[in-house]
Amino acid sequence: FFLMIRRPPRSTPLYSSAASDVYKRQNIYLQKTQTPSIYQEFQSEKYIFSLHVQKIDSMIMQCALGTIEKISIKRKAQDVMLKQSIIVWILAVLKNAAEINETTMEYTTALLMNLSLRTEGKRKCCELKSDILKVLKLFILTDNQQIQTHVNGTLYSLFLCPAIQK
């Protein structure tokens, strides 16, 4: 793989641009026959580990979160994330909304939405239904359209779960 850094637009934070560039250029999850799955799993676990050990809203944590959110649309990455119980971490971060900036909230809610669209992710969210609904309720009336979209997408997915419908 190779890394090509481009100058980000003025409105884009540098770490988000770097995460996008790395994701587009590496193609870790697209090369099924060329890249061993152990390497793929290691890459995802490495980013997830950095989320757990970094202080909330540190630059390293935001870079790792941005990268994880961007690869969270891939099935293999989602499997690793769900196995590592990242939904519990997401809830812990979102419960501390006063301590995190808006970019972190956007990436975190987008990651939760991406994971809740999978059957396994929906099942894990249903297990934590009271906490998930309390946290999402905090963000449903936010002024940020991105966060509202992510929260609405997550709720739409979770309302298909019989345990949450009750």
Contact criterion met (CB below 8 Å) for 146 and 106: yes
What local confidence, expressed as pLDDT, does residue 57 receive?
67
Count other C-beta atoms under 10 Å from residue 92's C-beta.
13
What local confidence, expressed as pLDDT, does residue 133 receive?
92
Tell me how far apart the alpha carbons of residues 66 and 60 are, in angstroms, rounded to a whole number. Answer: 10
Backbone phi and psi for residue 154, each to the nearest 5 degrees, phi listed first: -65, -45
pTM: 0.71
Half-sphere exposure of 57 (CA within 13 A, CB side): 10
What local confidence, expressed as pLDDT, does residue 39 receive?
42
Contact criterion met (CB below 8 Å) for 48 and 84: yes
- pLDDT, the chain, mean: 76
What band does 146 get if pLDDT is binned at 50, 70 and 90?
very high
